[in-house]
A and B are shown apart, each in its own frame.
Chain A
Amino acid sequence: MPIIELKEISKIFGFGDATTLALDEIDLVIEKGEFVAIMGPSGSGKSTLMNLIGLLDRPTYGSYKLGGKDVSRLRTNQLAKIRRDRVGYVFQSFNLLPRLNVLENVALPLVYKGVGANKRIKTASALLERVGLSDREYYLPKHLSGGQTQRAAIARALVNSPDIIIADEPTGNLDSESSRVVMELLSDIHKLGNTILLVTHNPELTRYVNRVVYMHDGVIVHDENTPIGEVPKLARKALNLFQRKTEEDDLAGVSALMKAIPTKHTTKKPRAKAKKPTSRSKSMKRIKK
């Protein structure tokens, strides 16, 4: 059963001459229980895509079905409620609230859902135990190490039992040991049947996922399934090209990878496009006027 269905999704930023096309008619279907890595250089549209899937933003054109329900035209507050009930976020910079202790941070999504205090604490506490932070419940985020903070953030993302978990560069601010712990935690969560979307620059991390989507200039240029535990061909190419040292090297690696991919619109069917003009192309004309 597909949990995410994107159809001809486009996102345009700006007005007039400053218009940029961040996403160009993206089609993407993600099944329940998939662990998908989304790769691509900066400006390729990964973040925009994640914001759309995570319902922080609405597409300019196209339709988005989350769990079979069309959510592409909902109003801000309805989006907030769906985010609350169905999406879990894990950020690169952790984004725990500095004034709340770990337990309160994890329980926060439940506050907005209107769950009673006792139940909130119980649920949050159980999740903290699952990520191995039982003894850190009353610590403030600033008293945790990076890896611990990210584990707490993962617990927060799980607290509403969401349909999808969006992890945006979750290891970007972590050392390699903490990165491994966090990725293994995500991997465990995936094994329990959760759907996870992972945005990353780091080809190494693709060994935890079962599908890799490559993006470039607002389109999906390549989409492959890969056995868990292996780094897929294209990613390995990038790995072999450069000895990974810093994030900049990662970026260079991904760029090299993108160059290595022969043609851009590999996943597209140009004939279909020619057959029926989409709403987007109509509107692009409008914009050009």
Chain B
Amino acid sequence: MSITRNIRSAAQSLKYSKWRSLMTMTGVILGVLSVITIVSIGEGVKRQVVGQINLLGSDLISVRPGNLVTRDKNGNIVKVNQISSFAFGSGSMSDSDLETIKSSSGVKTVVPIGLVNSGVKLDDVQYNQSLVIATNDKFPAMLKQTINHGVFFDDTDSNKHVVVIGKRVAENLFAENVPIGRTLTIRGVEFVVIGVFEEFNYSPLAYGTDLNQAIAMPYAAGQELTGHNQLAQVLVRPESVDQTTAVIAAINKKMTLAHGGQNDFTVLKQDENLSVVSNILKVFTAFISGVAAMSLLIGGIGIMNIMLVSVTERTREIGIRKAIGATNRQISEQFFVEATILSSTGGAIGIGLAFVINAVLRIVTHLNPVISLEVVLISAGVSIALGIVFGVIPAVRAARKDPIEALRYE
């Protein structure tokens, strides 16, 4: 019996019990769907990070509060400390650290990002989605960000009460595109809007903070408001790209000294940001993949279960087929192909749904999930393999039926 004939005949008998077949496939469908979706989100985030690294340059160094990573003697990251990774504002760095970093050898430019608060007032309207930061005039150059309208504050503005705002703030708070010249109130002090940022690319590195919601004020103005700025991050560029590693070492040394030997800060290269992100993703992906693997396993067992039921139900059919000359092998092939078709159809539906979910995610979130050919092929392979593995027992059972007893079966 040819394979195409087998496939046609299997498709026919699956179509005969459409609902049952669909229910049976659910496990495989969900398994494949979740694996592809999770992997594609991870892949998308990774690509965004890589894109950002390319944009910002590999010589960008960031110094963050909190001990995010553990390094070996050669300075390679051996472990990412999960717990503090999201601690955007853990306050172990302040104004004095800025001077320490500035004075490290090989440092060319330093841009502090001080956290002021997250709430502003426009007239009597309170707006809490914003992220008020205090920084210096080199901020746009450091992040290669352009100003869409107006200007960014420069050296001479360092004491003035001016702000440059993100696009979302303009839209949501002022309800206009160019609210230049208007004022808003931060901690009771009035600030004048002098510029609006071009839209920031969604940055997975920002760990949930959206710079399009940023309100940036001069560093000194921030100090005036808060007494001293809490540093969320300090961005550093070395004098030349080759020096990056040396500068990191220098900053590390000086900072450790300044912190009394306490390593409660983290100096990261751009590409190390990638390893931090991918490490977080790895844990996430492993977890979901585990769940998906369980779902696939249960899906496989479900297929086996239904196939066994089907073999029993169709005992008489098996008897008839044997009586008219089907060999054991031909009978087992029939059920084997049926199980495989069941699982691979489930896989195909899962893959199809994953593309739908992918499109939905692209529309409703900032994620740009990327479905790679690799993951599609692997999930197709896995679902076919499921049918093969879990189809064996039912197929063998079918083949072993005694034709005389099978013919008598009611």
Contacts and interface: CB of A to CB of B under 8 A. Distances in A.
Interface string A28-49: 0000000000000000000000
A232 B183 CA distance: 119
B323 A112 contact: no
A51 interface: yes
The residue among B317, B323, B325, B407 with the most chain A CB atoms within 10 A of its own CB is B325
A113 B53 CA distance: 65
Interface in A101-124: 108-109, 111-114, 117
Contact of A99 (B12, B328, B403): B12
A80 B1 contact: no
Interface residues of A, number: 28
B16 A84 contact: no
A97 B317 contact: yes
A156 interface: yes
A95 to B, nearest CB: 5
Interface in B268-285: none
B329 A112 contact: no
B298 interface: no
B329 A156 contact: no
Contacts of A108: 321, 324
Nearest to B8: A117
Contacts of B327: 76-77, 80-81, 112
A84 B5 CA distance: 18
B325 A80 contact: yes
Contact of A80 (B2, B326, B407): B326
A233 B183 CA distance: 122
Nearest to B406: A56
B13 interface: yes
Interface in B320-336: 320-330
Given A51-B404, A83-B323, A99-B16, A76 B2 contact: no
Contacts of B322: 56, 80, 83
Contact of B325 (A76, A100, A113): A113
A99 B316 contact: no
Contact of B2 (A87, A96, A114): A114
Interface residues of B, number: 23
B384 to A, nearest CB: 24
Nearest to A108: B324
B316 A95 contact: yes
Contact of B324 (A99, A109, A114): A109
A109 B330 CA distance: 12
A85 B407 contact: no
Interface string B309-320: 000000011011
Say what secondary structure dominates the interface of chain B. helix
Contacts of B316: 95
Interface string B214-239: 00000000000000000000000000
Interface string B355-383: 00000000000000000000000000000
A108 B321 CA distance: 8
B398 to A, nearest CB: 14
A91 interface: yes
Contacts of A111: 1, 5
A99 B325 contact: no
Given A56-B403, A56-B404, A97 B320 contact: yes
Interface string A219-260: 000000000000000000000000000000000000000000
Interface string B138-161: 000000000000000000000000
A89 B324 contact: yes
A83 B325 contact: yes
B12 A77 contact: no
A43 to B, nearest CB: 15
Nearest to A78: B327
B330 A112 contact: yes
Contacts of B329: 77
A57 B403 CA distance: 8
Q: Which 4 residue pairs across A and B have the least CB separation, nearest first?
A: A84-B325, A80-B327, A109-B324, A77-B327
Given A56-B404, A156-B324, 14 more contacts: A51-B404, A56-B323, A56-B403, A76-B327, A77-B329, A80-B326, A81-B327, A89-B324, A95-B319, A95-B320, A95-B407, A109-B325, A112-B330, A113-B325
12 contacts: A54-B323, A56-B407, A57-B404, A77-B328, A80-B322, A97-B321, A108-B324, A109-B324, A109-B325, A111-B1, A112-B1, A112-B324
